[in-house]
Amino acid sequence: MVKNYTDKQLLDRVKELPNFKSIPNDYWILGVRSSEDTPDTFDDKFYLYYGEKFVLVTSGTTNAGRGTLLEFEKINKKGAAIIKSDNWYYGVWKYGSHRRRIEALLQLGAQVEVFRDTNKDLKSDETGKIDKGWFGINFHPNTYDIESTLPIKSKIGWWSAGCQVVNDLSKYRQIIRLTKTQASVTYCLLKEF
């Protein structure tokens, strides 16, 4: 699991990134990718900020799940999409419906940069050529039942083929409630540091 950080540590780190422009004035999401990268496990964190004010933190994944890593050809013959970390994606997401089944933040605002993982070793590798484009890298939960009261899931499975996925529905509902009226939502993804 990702180690704990202070708000200052996180904000200082995101301001050091090469493509940093400014901290958004509204709600934005910060993902932190675990250096452990335990296969098929929700071992990353998402932080919701309003400007520089911390709002909440939840667990999730910034990596593709086991299904995609082993059978990426079903999704994209180029490889499993692993979003490039230590990067800002300004205005990347807009409120909508993931697969017309659940409220989500959809990649409708900006392109993303991904690496294409093809070695099937169950690790999300950030190596090789960067693929930039519109890949449907959305922000959604690990279920289509937004009102579910089931316990937090531990396995990613097919829930991520590159999407950023939350595994705590109560926190996810809060994030959607707070961000859905914005024109777009910015995302920043860090590697654990």
Q: What is the mean pLDDT of residues 8-36?
A: 98
Give the Cα separation of 124 and 38 in Å (integer): 9
Tokens standing for residue 158 = 């097919």
Strand partners, 27: 50
Residue pLDDT, tens place only, 81-99:
999 999 999 999 999 998 8
Pick 93 or 158 by higher pLDDT.
93
Give the Cα separation of 114 and 137 in Å (integer): 10
What is the reported pLDDT for 154? Answer: 81
Give the Cα separation of 145 and 127 in Å (integer): 35
Sequential DSSP letters for 6-71: -HHHHHHHHHTSTT-----SSEEEEEEE-SS--TTB--EEEEEEETTEEEEEEEEESS--HHHHH-
Confidence of residue 100 (pLDDT cuts 50, 70, 90): confident
Q: How far apart are the first and last CA of the chain?
A: 13
Query: What 3 state SS string does 85-113 have?
Result: CCEEEEEEEEEEEECCCEEEEEECCCCEE
Query: Cα separations (Å) of 147 from 67, 144, 170?
Result: 25, 9, 9
Tokens standing for residue 111 = 């392109």
Query: Is the pTM of the predicted complex or chain greater than 0.85?
Result: yes
What residue spans define the domains of the chain? 7-191
